[in-house]
């Protein structure tokens, strides 16, 4: 096998070594020894084992040693808590030659298949995290055990690839097409859902599951029983179940269409082709097809874009740009939530679940307070029912959540967040009152989506402890948190807010206190161009589907129905007042809100969704229609203009932060790599603003 040298500029590979030792099987009821290969990159647990070219060659050498030994079987396991996290993707973005990409795919197949085609029985003892190529190593083995604490997945379609080291071919043959589509397509596209050990066992990916305390001993005992003939694992042949394969592929296609709004996305489409072909393909033919698919996708912009987006999210999750030293943060031992509506209740729930401190809610009357507290308690009970929390933990947390109509309960709070009606005067009045109750060091946070945080501090004695803390709905699911500093917010307040955000497991950006912050400012401008085109006479379906090719999970008008016309109109009005007439107020939106029409689409008798006649009747009757392409370019142009203004104004410190916000706060598709790389690739950035947002080559082949 020829050595593969990564291109110049690619990061140096952290080599995962493959260490071989012989295990005497006599104590386990079998004769002979077991060659145990242990994967270990010599790093701590924060750096999982990965497979770059040198690591694959190290495994190849270990397999040769095991084959030449007198052992009766070969097994592979990982360092403590980690099996292998798959291919080392850090160098892929540097590949410029398809033949190089093809060679990497072939190298993995050539080495891994030695485990599946070995004369000795082979075992994978999956003792911890096993993703992508890590799980594929296990699939090449004849048998697999999994630790109860291990998570496994084939996340390649989430990243713009396919399981290209055997997974797309072996898995359908092993567990059947329906289960394979679940693992390769449905799980990957559902925010990269991973399998717990019990799931892997139920689907047929694992043959046995053991507790971690004695996992290796139990796994060796399992291997000994297989070797001695005391245990036999039957494998089902799915080849002749053609109807099941057709149904599974149709299920996968439907899921892809729903995820990407009907757009043609290469990686899941290629994965489904490989799964379908696995029914009649030999393993060799399937591996060859995987090589070709992997090479094609590696040399595509969607992969580069996905890798950029993935790496950006991972980096920003760990470090918040511009955050003060965490040592400045004050301890938060009690939280106050002003409001007891749905948003406030969600905030109370996430605070108590993650901070595990007393959380007190207030509202105008006891009925509302009781309703909010009851909602939190009910959500905790649901978590118990779903076995995501013990009953005792839920009871303990429920006791920490209380309510009152008297805001004096905030007197000893360290962090108070408001989620009341979006009206500046109400929030100003609230903060003035709170200042007379809480200590001078208590952080006062606002969950406003578009109002000026600085204006909320007018007349306060301690404006330095007020900060924007903008969550996205639903709070528990949406990962982004916009932290908005005013001109007076001090470092201690910011550091405290950032520490709270980290405890809540949110990915954060620190932004300037500017209208709409980042996501709402861009999203409102984008949505406004689409609704304006409709108001001017463009057919609603033409305007709504103009962006379909980008692969959004829902169209602009579907999103409008989710957000609600009232909220969208309020944000548009706020931005119109603060940023000017480019944020136009749609007469159609005004009519929808006035008449209480909440959506452009309604469910029909046959279960499908169609245009809402009530909404259609309220549309402005313009006489200047646009084509779909004109609407698309109009929206993209507006995004480029607004993003450039935001950077010039210092709303955020870098283009990457805008990309992060749109990926995590607005659902901008991963395969586009964020909003700004897409505008760069399409040439919109330069044509509109005179320059790119990112250097050439970021998230693209260039």
The residue whose two tokens read 């808590």 is 81
Closest CA to 48 of 7, 89, 9, 19: 89
Burial 485-508 (b: 16+ CB within 10 A, else e): bbebbbebbbbbbbbbbbbbebbb
Q: pLDDT by residue (tens digit) across 386-426? A: 989 999 999 999 999 999 999 999 999 999 999 999 999 99
Phi, psi of 450 (to 5 degrees): -150, -15
List the strands of the sheet with 143-147, edge to edge: 17-24, 33-40, 73-78, 122-126, 143-147, 208-210
- How far apart, in whole angstroms, are the C-alpha atoms of residue 569 and residue 588? 10
pLDDT at 574 over 80: yes
In this predicted structure, the answer to whether residue 4 has a pLDDT above a threshold of 80 is no
Q: What is the 3-state secondary structure (H, E, C) of 282-309?
A: CHHHHHHHHHHHHHHHHCCHHHHHHHHH
Averaged over 241-262, what is the pLDDT?
Answer: 95
Higher pLDDT, 86 or 605: 86
| CB atoms closer than 10 angstroms to residue 647 | 18
How many Cβ atoms from other residues are within 10 Å of residue 198's Cβ? 12
Say whether 65 sits in a helix, a strand or coil: helix
The closest of 656, 640, 657, 650 to 691, measured between CA atoms, is: 640
CA 164/CA 287 separation, integer angstroms = 8
In the beta sheet, which residues pair with residue 23? 34
pLDDT tops 80 at residue 10: no
Please report which residue ranges of 505-555 form alpha helices under DSSP H.
Answer: 519-535, 540-544
Structure confidence at residue 2 (pLDDT): 60
Strands 122-126 and 73-78: parallel
Query: Strand 601-603 vs strand 609-611: parallel, antiparallel, or unpaired?
Result: antiparallel
- Residue 418 has, within 13 A of its CA and on its CB side, a CA count of 27
What is the C-alpha separation between 210 and 495, in angstroms, rounded? 43
Domains and CATH numbers, the chain: 17-299 (3.90.226.10), 326-512 (3.40.50.720), 519-650 (1.10.1040.50)
* CB neighbours of residue 95 within 10 Å: 21
Q: Which two tokens stand for residue 193?
A: 């859902």
Q: What percent of the chain has pLDDT over 90?
A: 91
Which structure tokens are listed for 530?
Answer: 């689409």
Average pLDDT, the chain: 95
pLDDT tens sequence across 619-641: 999 999 999 999 999 999 999 99
The verdict on whether omega for the bond into residue 10 sits within 30 degrees of 0, i.e. cis, is no
- Residue closest to 181 by CA, chosen among 105, 87, 253, 285: 253
d(C-alpha 680, C-alpha 247), whole Å: 40
Q: Say how far apart CA 502 and CA 480 lie, in whole Å.
A: 11
pLDDT band (50, 70, 90) for residue 471: very high
CA 62, 65, 68, 73 torsion-angle sign: negative
The sign of the torsion formed by the CA atoms of 690, 695, 701, 702 equals positive
pLDDT (0 to 100) of residue 384: 96
What is the rounded average pLDDT of the residues 265-294?
Answer: 97
Average pLDDT in the 687-692 region? 97
Q: Decide the pairing of beta strands 601-603 and 507-512.
A: unpaired
Bridge partners (DSSP) of residue 75 are 36, 123
Residue 419, token pair as written in the block: 């989620």
Report the SS3 class of residue 37.
Answer: strand
d(CA 617, CA 600): 11
State the residue for tokens 């900060």: 467
Instruction: Specify the pLDDT at position 702.
Output: 62
Neighbours of 245 (CB within 10 A): 24
* Percent above pLDDT 70 for the chain: 99
Number of helices followed by number of strands (H, E) in the chain: 28, 19
Q: What is the average per-residue pLDDT within 165-186?
A: 98
Full-prediction pTM beyond 0.85? Answer: yes
**Beta partners for 446?**
418, 468
CA 370 to chain centre: 34
157, two tokens: 């379609």
Assign 53 a pLDDT band (cuts: 50, 70, 90): very high
pLDDT level of residue 215 (50, 70, 90 thresholds): very high
Provide the pLDDT for residue 280: 96
Cα four-point dihedral sign 542, 474, 415, 435:
positive
Cβ atoms of 422 and 570 within 8 Å: the answer is: yes
* pLDDT of the residue at 1: 64
Q: Which DSSP string corresponds to 390-417?
A: -HHHHHHHHHHEEEES-GGGGTT-SEEE
For range 194-219, the mean pLDDT? 97
* Element (DSSP H or E) covering residue 335: strand 335-338
* List of residues 6+ apart from 469 with CB closer than 8 A: 417, 445, 446, 447, 481, 482, 483, 484, 497, 500, 501
pLDDT at 593: 96
At 315-337, the pLDDT tens digits run 999 999 999 999 999 999 999 99
DSSP 577-640: HHH-TTS---HHHHHHHHHT---SEEE-TTS-EEE-HHHHTTS---S----HHHHHHHHHHHHH
What's 143's DSSP letter? Answer: E
Q: What residues contact 471, with CB distance under 8 A and at least 6 apart? A: 343, 346, 347, 447, 478, 481, 506
Q: Encoding tokens for residue 211? A: 């507790």
**Residue 106 host element (H or E):** helix 98-116
Q: What is the CA radius of gyration of the chain?
A: 28
Mean pLDDT of 424-436: 97
Q: According to the model, what pLDDT value does residue 169 have? A: 98
pLDDT of 99 reads 92
Cα(361)–Cα(382) distance, integer angstroms? 20
Strand, helix or coil at 191? coil
445, 417 contact by CB (below 8 A): yes
pLDDT at 60: 97
CA–CA gap between residue 498 and residue 329 (Å, rounded): 8
Maximum Cα–Cα distance across the chain: 87
Tokens of 354: 């993650």
């Amino acid at each position: 096998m020829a050595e593969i040298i990564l291109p110049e500029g690619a990061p140096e590979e952290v080599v995962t070594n493959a260490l071989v030792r012989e295990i005497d099987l006599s104590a386990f009821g079998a004769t002979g020894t077991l060659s145990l290969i242990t994967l270990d990159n010599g790093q701590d647990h924060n750096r999982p084992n990965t497979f770059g070219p040198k690591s694959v060659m190290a495994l190849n050498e270990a397999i040769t040693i095991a084959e030449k030994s007198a052992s009766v079987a070969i097994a592979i396991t990982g360092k403590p808590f980690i099996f292998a996290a798959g291919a080392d993707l850090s160098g892929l973005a540097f590949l410029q030659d398809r033949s190089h990409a093809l060679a990497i795919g072939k190298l993995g197949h050539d080495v891994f298949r030695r485990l599946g085609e070995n004369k000795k029985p082979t075992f994978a003892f999956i003792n911890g995290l096993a993703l992508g190529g890590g799980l594929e190593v296990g699939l090449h083995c004849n048998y697999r055990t999994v630790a109860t604490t291990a998570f496994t997945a084939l996340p390649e379609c989430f990243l713009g690839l396919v399981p290209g080291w055997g997974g797309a071919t072996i898995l359908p043959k092993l567990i059947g097409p329906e289960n394979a589509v679940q693992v390769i397509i449905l799980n990957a596209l559902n925010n990269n859902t991973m399998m717990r050990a019990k799931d892997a066992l139920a689907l047929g990916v694992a043959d046995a599951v053991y507790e971690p305390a004695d996992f290796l001993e139990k796994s060796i005992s399992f291997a000994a029983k297989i070797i001695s003939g005391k245990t036999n694992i039957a494998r089902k042949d799915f080849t002749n179940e053609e109807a099941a394969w057709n149904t599974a592929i149709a299920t996968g296609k439907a899921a892809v269409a729903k995820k990407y709004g009907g757009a043609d996305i290469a990686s899941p489409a290629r994965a489904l082709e490989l799964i379908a072909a696995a029914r009649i393909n030999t393993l060799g033919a399937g591996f060859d097809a995987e090589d070709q698919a992997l090479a094609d996708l590696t040399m595509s912009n969607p992969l580069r874009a996905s890798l950029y987006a993935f790496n950006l999210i991972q980096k920003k999750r760990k470090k918040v740009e511009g955050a003060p030293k965490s040592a400045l943060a004050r301890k938060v031992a009690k939280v106050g939530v002003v409001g007891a509506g749905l948003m406030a209740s969600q905030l109370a729930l996430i605070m108590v679940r993650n901070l595990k401190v007393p959380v007190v809610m207030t509202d105008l009357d006891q009925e509302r307070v009781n309703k909010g507290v009851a909602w939190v308690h009910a959500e905790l009970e649901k978590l118990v029912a779903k076995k995501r929390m013990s009953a005792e933990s839920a009871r303990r947390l429920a006791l920490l959540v209380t309510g009152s109509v008297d805001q004096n309960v905030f007197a000893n709070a360290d962090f108070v967040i408001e989620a009341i009606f979006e009206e500046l005067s109400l929030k100003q009045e609230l903060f003035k009152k709170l200042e007379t109750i809480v200590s001078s060091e208590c952080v006062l946070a606002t969950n406003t989506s578009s109002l000026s945080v600085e204006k909320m501090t007018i007349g306060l004695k301690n404006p330095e402890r007020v900060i924007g803390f903008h969550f996205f709905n639903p709070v528990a699911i949406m990962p982004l948190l916009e932290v908005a500093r005013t001109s007076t917010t001090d470092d201690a307040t910011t550091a405290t807010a950032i520490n709270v955000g980290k405890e809540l497991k949110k990915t954060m950006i620190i932004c300037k206190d500017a209208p709409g912050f980042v996501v709402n400012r861009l999203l409102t401008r984008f949505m406004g161009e689409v609704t304006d085109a409709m108001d001017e006479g463009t057919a609603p379906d033409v305007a709504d589907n103009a962006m379909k090719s980008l692969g959004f999970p829902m169209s602009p008008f579907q999103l409008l129905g989710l957000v609600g016309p009232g909220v969208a109109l309020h944000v548009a009005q706020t931005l119109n007042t603060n940023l000017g007439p480019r944020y136009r107020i749609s007469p159609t939106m005004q009519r929808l809100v006035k008449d209480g029409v909440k959506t452009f689409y309604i469910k029909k008798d046959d279960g499908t969704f169609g245009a809402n006649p009530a909404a259609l009747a309220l549309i402005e009757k313009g006489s200047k229609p646009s084509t779909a392409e004109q609407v698309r370019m109009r929206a993209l142009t507006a995004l480029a203009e607004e993003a450039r203004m935001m950077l010039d104004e210092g709303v955020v410190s870098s283009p990457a932060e805008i990309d992060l916000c749109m990926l995590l706060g607005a659902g901008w598709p991963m395969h586009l790599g964020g909003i700004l790389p897409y505008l760069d690739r399409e040439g919109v950035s330069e044509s509109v603003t005179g320059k790119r947002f990112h250097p050439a080559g970021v998230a693209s082949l260039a």
